[in-house]
């Protein structure tokens, strides 16, 4: 996440500052969204994998792929591609550092959007149930009775803040298609090793059907589903059915 912001700041400081500090807000729901997300590292099939340790991530491959997604108009697409072309990706923590050269960048084909689609959760998807005055709520698994309603509310607000057009959450339907016993969870920490460090938990590796107006579907696909998209949560793959 920090690397993405850094590259955007070099190319367009005003846009990067807006995205990082403000986001797209509305007085109606008092929420702010950044309309960007990214995938976990992935590899050509059978040609690599990664394994986490307590303090590092070991990559077993000569190359890996990272998908970035922005909910932007077509006019801005070339700008985004240019930002990351011929760049160096530096990954580090307090003990290790690795540098990677970006050798190729391309725009992935857009799926054929419809008002009913099946997606696979590539990245962890975080849906939060707030209770009381706690700063953070409970992170719900996809088979929780309130998961679909909260996902729909988030997407409804996300679309409204981006377009000014209201689509009620009742028009957005979530259906879990995977066996709940096979769904995986993943935790990440934000603001790591600071007083504000927070552990987030999302769920991934599951299929779901979403029913929604086409433009709302496009908004969710490109900006990410659920919360904390700019932290790398909520990216999905559209499945052909």
Give the residue from 101, 126, 151 where a domain finishes.
101
Q: Is residue 164 part of a domain?
A: yes
Q: Who's near 112: CB < 8 A, 6+ residues apart? A: none
Triad 75, 219, 21: Cα angle to 5°: 75
Give the residue from 52, 74, 101 where a domain finishes.
101
Same domain, residue pair 144 and 64: no
- Determine the structural domain holding residue 93 and report its residue range: 2-101
Same domain, residue pair 93 and 127: no
Tell me the two tokens of residue 100: 């990677």
Count the Cβ atoms, other than its own, within 10 Å of residue 217: 23
Sequential pLDDT tens for the chain (241 residues): 888 888 888 887 877 776 666 666 777 777 888 889 999 989 988 889 989 888 788 899 989 999 999 987 766 777 788 888 888 998 887 888 899 999 988 888 999 999 999 999 999 999 999 877 777 789 999 999 999 999 999 999 999 998 999 999 999 999 999 999 999 999 988 877 777 788 899 999 999 999 999 999 999 999 999 999 999 999 999 998 7
Same domain, residue pair 120 and 225: yes
Q: Who's near 69: CB < 8 A, 6+ residues apart? A: 36, 37, 38, 39, 221, 222, 223, 224, 235
Same domain, residue pair 121 and 234: yes
């Amino acid at each position: 996440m920090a690397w993405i912001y850094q590259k955007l700041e070099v190319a367009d400081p005003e846009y990067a500052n807006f995205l990082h500090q403000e986001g797209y807000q509305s007085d109606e729901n008092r929420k702010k969204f950044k309309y960007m997300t990214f995938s976990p590292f992935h590899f050509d099939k059978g040609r690599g994998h990664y394994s986490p340790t307590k303090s590092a991530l070991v990559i077993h491959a000569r190359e890996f792929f990272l998908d970035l997604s922005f909910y932007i108009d077509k006019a801005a697409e070339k700008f985004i591609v240019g930002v990351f072309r011929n760049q160096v990706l530096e990954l580090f923590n307090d003990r290790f550092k690795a540098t990677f050269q970006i050798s190729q960048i391309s725009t992935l084909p857009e799926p054929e959007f419809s008002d009913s689609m099946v997606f696979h959760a590539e990245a962890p998807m975080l849906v939060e149930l707030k209770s009381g005055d706690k700063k953070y709520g409970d992170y719900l698994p996809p088979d929780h009775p309130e998961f679909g309603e909260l996902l729909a509310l988030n997407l409804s607000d996300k679309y409204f803040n981006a377009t000014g057009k209201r689509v009620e959450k009742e028009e957005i339907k979530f259906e879990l298609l995977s066996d709940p016993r096979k769904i995986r969870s993943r935790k990440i920490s934000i603001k790591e090793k600071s007083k504000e460090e927070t552990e987030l938990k999302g769920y991934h590796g599951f299929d779901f059907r979403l029913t929604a107006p086409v433009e709302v579907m496009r908004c969710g696909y490109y900006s990410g589903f659920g919360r904390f998209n700019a932290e790398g949560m909520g990216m999905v793959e559209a499945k052909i059915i």
